[in-house]
C-alpha cells in the first residue's frame, strides 16, 4: 500500500474514474437548521451514496485503479462497516473477489450491508492490532490487494470527490465541516479545497472519546495511542500517517464533540431535515451547534457522511 499523500490533482482523476459508478448525491438545506446555527448550511447527502456512505467513492477509485492482474486476485480490507460495504460493492462492479476483516461488536446493519454485496467476512477481536494482523494474513493467503480504509492514497483521493461536487454545486463556502476518524474524508476534503477553493477553511468534527486528530495536530505529530469510546462507530479508527500530513499542511481546525451533543444533532437531522443519518454523520452539525460563534453568518458546507444505522439500537428511547 502506498502511504504517501496523493497530490491534489488525484481528486480530479478520481472524479473521472468513479463517474460511471458513483452517485452524484444531492445538497440539502433547511431554514430551521440555518436559524438554529446562525449560519447558511448546505448538507452534502453522502448517506444517499451507493452502499449508504461516502466511502464508496474511495473504494471505487481504488478498485478501478487496479491493473487487470492485480484485480484478478481480488481486494482485502479491515473495516467496522462502511468501508467494508463500500469495497464489497466496488469489487462487485468490477466482478472481483472481496475479503473484509470485521471486529467483534460491529454494527449489525453494517455487517449485513457488507454481506449483501457478496464479500467474504473474517471476524476478529475489536482492537486495531487484531484487525491489521488478520488482514495481513488474508492478504498473504489470497494474494489480494490491500485497500486500507483511510491511509491509501487512492482512497483519500476518491473521498475528496464529495467535497469537489459540493463546491461545484453550491460554492463558494467560507467553511467546510466534515467528520474525522482515520482521516480519509478529512484529507480528501483538504486536497479538494487545495485545488478548487483554497480560501475555504476546513473544520473537522471529532468525538471526544476518539480525539486523536485534535491531539495530533496540536502536538505536531501523530498521537494515536488510545482506546476509542464513542457512539460514532465510524470514527473510531486511528488517524493515518498520510492523512495527518495532509491535514497538518492544510492547517485544519478540529472541534471535539461529546456523544450527547452528537445524538442531539442526529435527532435534529432526522426530525427537521427528514434524513436517516448515523452518529458519525451527525457530528458535523453537532460541531457547529457546539461553537456557533465560529460560524455565525457564514456559508458552511457539511458532509453527511453515512446513513447505515442499526435501527434496533437507536440511541434514544422508543416511547
Question: How many helices (H) and strands (E) in the chain?
Answer: 13, 10
Whole-number Å distance between alpha carbons of 10 and 224: 27
Q: What is the mean pLDDT of the chain?
A: 94
DSSP string, 190-227: HHHHHHH-TTSEEEEEEEGGG-HHHHHHHHTS------
**Farthest-apart Cα atoms in the chain, separation:** 55
* 317: confidence class by pLDDT, cuts 50, 70, 90: low
* 309: confidence class by pLDDT, cuts 50, 70, 90: confident
Condensed to tens digits (0 to 9), the pLDDT of residues 163-221 reads: 999 999 999 999 999 999 999 999 999 999 999 999 999 999 999 999 999 999 999 99
Please report, rounded to a whole number, the percentage of residues in the chain having pLDDT higher than 90.
84
For the cut 70, the answer to whether the pLDDT of residue 319 exceeds it is no
Domains and their CATH numbers in the chain: 9-54+152-313 (3.40.50.1100), 56-146 (3.40.50.1100)
Condensed to tens digits (0 to 9), the pLDDT of residues 138-170 reads: 999 999 999 999 999 999 999 999 999 999 999
Condensed to tens digits (0 to 9), the pLDDT of residues 88-134 reads: 999 999 999 999 999 888 877 778 889 899 999 999 998 878 988 99
Q: How far apart are the first and last CA of the chain?
A: 48
Q: What angle do the packed helices 153-170 and 9-18 form, to 10 degrees?
A: 80
* 1: confidence class by pLDDT, cuts 50, 70, 90: low
pLDDT value for 108: 79
Whole-number Å distance between alpha carbons of 203 and 177: 5
For the cut 70, the answer to whether the pLDDT of residue 82 exceeds it is yes
Amino acid at each position: 500500500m502506498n502511504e504517501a499523500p496523493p497530490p491534489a490533482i488525484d481528486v480530479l482523476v478520481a472524479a473521472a474514474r468513479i463517474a460511471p459508478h458513483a452517485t452524484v448525491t444531492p445538497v440539502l438545506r433547511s431554514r430551521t437548521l440555518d436559524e438554529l446555527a446562525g449560519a447558511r448550511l448546505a448538507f452534502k447527502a453522502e448517506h444517499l451514496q451507493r452502499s449508504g456512505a461516502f466511502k464508496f467513492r474511495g473504494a471505487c477509485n481504488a478498485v478501478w485503479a487496479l491493473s487487470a492482474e492485480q484485480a484478478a486476485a481480488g481486494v482485502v480490507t479491515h473495516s467496522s462497516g462502511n468501508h467494508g460495504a463500500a469495497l464489497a460493492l466496488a469489487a462487485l462492479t468490477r466482478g472481483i473477489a472481496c475479503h473484509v476483516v470485521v471486529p467483534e461488536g460491529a454494527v449489525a446493519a453494517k455487517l449485513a450491508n457488507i454481506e449483501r454485496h457478496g464479500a467474504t467476512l473474517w471476524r476478529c477481536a475489536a482492537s486495531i492490532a487484531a484487525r491489521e494482523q488478520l488482514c495481513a494474513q488474508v492478504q498473504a493467503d489470497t494474494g489480494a490487494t490491500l485497500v486500507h480504509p483511510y491511509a491509501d492514497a487512492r482512497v483519500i483521493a476518491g473521498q475528496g470527490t464529495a467535497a469537489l461536487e459540493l463546491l461545484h454545486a453550491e460554492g463558494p463556502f467560507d467553511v467546510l465541516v466534515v467528520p474525522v476518524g482515520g482521516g480519509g474524508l478529512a484529507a480528501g476534503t483538504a486536497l479538494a479545497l487545495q485545488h478548487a477553493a483554497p480560501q475555504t477553511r476546513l473544520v473537522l468534527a471529532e468525538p471526544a472519546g476518539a480525539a486523536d486528530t485534535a491531539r495530533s495536530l496540536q502536538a505536531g505529530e501523530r498521537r494515536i495511542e488510545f482506546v476509542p469510546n464513542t457512539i460514532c462507530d465510524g470514527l473510531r479508527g486511528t488517524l493515518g500517517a498520510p492523512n495527518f500530513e495532509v491535514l497538518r499542511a492544510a492547517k485544519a481546525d478540529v472541534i471535539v464533540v461529546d456523544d450527547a451533543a452528537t445524538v442531539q444533532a442526529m435527532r435534529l437531522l432526522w426530525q427537521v431535515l427528514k434524513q436517516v443519518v448515523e452518529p458519525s454523520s451527525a457530528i458535523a452539525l453537532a460541531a457547529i451547534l457546539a461553537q456557533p460563534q465560529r460560524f455565525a453568518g457564514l456559508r458552511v458546507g457539511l458532509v453527511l457522511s453515512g446513513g447505515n444505522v442499526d435501527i434496533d439500537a437507536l440511541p434514544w428511547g422508543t416511547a
